[in-house]
Amino acid sequence: MKILFRIIAIFIFLSQSLYSQELITLNLGFQYRVTERQNLRIRVNGNYKGYLYREYRGFLRQESDNDKHYKGEFYILQDMKRDSQLIAKVVDDVYPTEFYLNPAGFISISDEFSVPLHQSFPAFSFDAVIPGDSWVASGTDLIYDSSGNFIKIPFLCRYIYRGEETYLSRPVVVIDAQYALRYKKSSYDNNISDIVSINGSHKSVIMLYKDTKGGIFIRTELNQDIGYLNGNNETTAGFILTWYDGISGNMVASTRERIIKSLDGSGEEDIIFEEKDNGLMLQMQNIHFLPDSPIILTEERTRLDAIARLLKEAPGRTFLVVGHTADVGTVESQYELSVERAKSIIDEMVARGLQSKQFIYKGEGGTQPIASNLTNEGRAQNRRVEITILD
């Protein structure tokens, strides 16, 4: 009997030794980008309402080299059509955020911030693991109602380490994850959302790339029922794709240096740059459009050529294009014109060889003047387009 126990012990030891233990940590670098695409089928009270295509993009930057204190913005893009993944997208809203992120993936965030939507997910074991090992970690999902109000739903997620695999010719570490969302509003609940109940399940496959590019890819299957105060029940089913891409400080600095050098050699005086919290902003002042129109005059061809050359110094990056108008006319007409003019600039950039999927855009109308609207010169300065290299 002792010999049998000894043989079993040796077999277990040898089986475990076939796998090297791995400590999985989150290392996203000086800056990182989060992209989440939702592809969901919606039913209300059992009646099919169609597909929802929505995208969130977050651009986060580390506040110092000594901690994991991140600040940034999430851009919520308007509902997308099926074939719109490769086109420029309109920004529906912008949400600032600030949080601490530890190497295991846990987020410490104040209640005042309404993003990211998934907090402390994914989260990794504090101990080294081998294939088959599992752990449980807490997280929080933010669920929004149709009025833009949200509630925070805590959950416990179970993770199982699958091991190392290859995905699209790249080495990855694969983890399976699953959690449920349960919520029922009570008389003691002080949230102002129209949501009264939630019953949902999330099943995810998490892939951490192990090559030099790094990053994370997550595919989540979602099934969720949400009850509302008015008695409606919304059923959502489909999948969510999420990417985390890290960006090094050296890469950011190198891009900045190339653009500044190219701008200095362009000879264009009406293109200026400014260091902003969310990236390097290029400002095109006094853009000549047809009056009350998004059509750009042909005399701007040289300046547009120069802008395109500058943006090509940042391959693969995301560009936020913001249109501004002078405070002339109604607020609604100013906003619509500023959006159309931002889109016109993107069309010109695409015609010069840039990829439309790199661009997101929005309009501010005449709400952010940089000069007086009481003079022709001031109004000319306020008619501008700003392009920010977000990452």
Q: Where are the alpha helices (DSSP H) in 143-212?
A: none
Which candidate, 135, 117, 37, 66, places its Cα nearest to that of 357? 37
So what's the pLDDT on residue 227? 96
**How many domains, the chain?**
2
Statement to judge: residues 51 and 92 lie in one domain: yes
User: Residue 332: CA atoms inside 13 Å, Cβ hemisphere, count?
Assistant: 0
**Of 223, 247, 271, which residue sits at a domain end?**
247
Statement to judge: residues 186 and 275 lie in one domain: no
So what's the pLDDT on residue 79? 61
Say how many C-beta atoms besides its own lie within 10 A of residue 91's C-beta. 19
CATH number of the domain at 280, please: 3.30.1330.60
Q: Which residue has the tokens 């790249």?
A: 170
So what's the pLDDT on residue 20? 63
- Asked if 101 and 185 count as a contact pair (C-beta separation under 8 A), the reply is no
Range of the domain at 284: 250-389
In a domain, 5, yes or no: no
- Asked if 236 and 41 count as a contact pair (C-beta separation under 8 A), the reply is yes
In a domain, 13, yes or no: no
In a domain, 7, yes or no: no
- Asked if 162 and 200 count as a contact pair (C-beta separation under 8 A), the reply is no
In a domain, 332, yes or no: yes
Low-confidence ranges of the chain (pLDDT < 70): 1-20, 65-66, 78-87, 266, 268-269, 391
Distance CA(164)–CA(210), nearest Å, equals 9
So what's the pLDDT on residue 65? 62
Cut 0.85: pTM above it: no
Return the C-alpha torsion angle 25, 26, 30, 33, nearest 10.
Answer: 160
Say how many C-beta atoms besides its own lie within 10 A of residue 348's C-beta. 18
Statement to judge: residues 322 and 220 lie in one domain: no
Statement to judge: residues 218 and 274 lie in one domain: no
So what's the pLDDT on residue 13? 39
**Of 214, 247, 280, which residue sits at a domain end?**
247
Looking at beta carbons, which pairs linking 161-168 to residues 24 or more positions away fall under 8 Å? 161/22, 161/24, 161/125, 161/129, 161/130, 161/131, 161/132, 161/133, 161/134, 162/131, 163/19, 163/130, 163/131, 164/210, 165/207, 167/207, 167/217
User: Residue 53: CA atoms inside 13 Å, Cβ hemisphere, count?
Assistant: 7
So what's the pLDDT on residue 18? 44
So what's the pLDDT on residue 66? 61
Statement to judge: residues 233 and 276 lie in one domain: no
